[in-house]
Amino acid sequence: MDEKQRIEAEKKKNFKIRIKSVIEMLQETYYPGHATTAKRVIERHLIREFGLKPREATYHGGNIIDELQVMGILQRVPEDVIRNALLTIDIRKLQSHKA
């Protein structure tokens, strides 16, 4: 059981590091009124910065996007119901976010 707890703690630590890195990248990149396929941007960032493979980046990127939506930083664009890939970034929340 101790090994499982250690692995879970390591996963949580890595998730926090990745989400902080993604938020910093978004803060440097985006401006008011910007809409993007943030999913792809986040996945490429994870591949570049953390050396993840594309499939891993898709998995972890999805988790990060879900967390950013809970935080209110990202929102789905209502017109994009078919692909469900386009996201808008709440610049105020992004810029005021302290890691």
Say what the pTM is: 0.71
Q: What is the per-residue pLDDT for 73?
A: 83
Q: From CA 42, how far away is CA 44, in angstroms rounded?
A: 5
For residues 52 and 60, the answer to whether their CB atoms sit within 8 Å is: yes
* 79-83 contacts, C-beta under 8 A, 24 or more apart: none
**Dihedral angle over CA of 41, 44, 49, 52, nearest 10:** 140
Q: What is the per-residue pLDDT for 24?
A: 86
What are 30-63's pLDDT values in tens digits?
766 555 667 788 888 899 999 999 999 999 988 9
Residue 68 class from Cβ within 10 Å (0-12 exposed, 13-18 middle, 19+ buried)?
buried
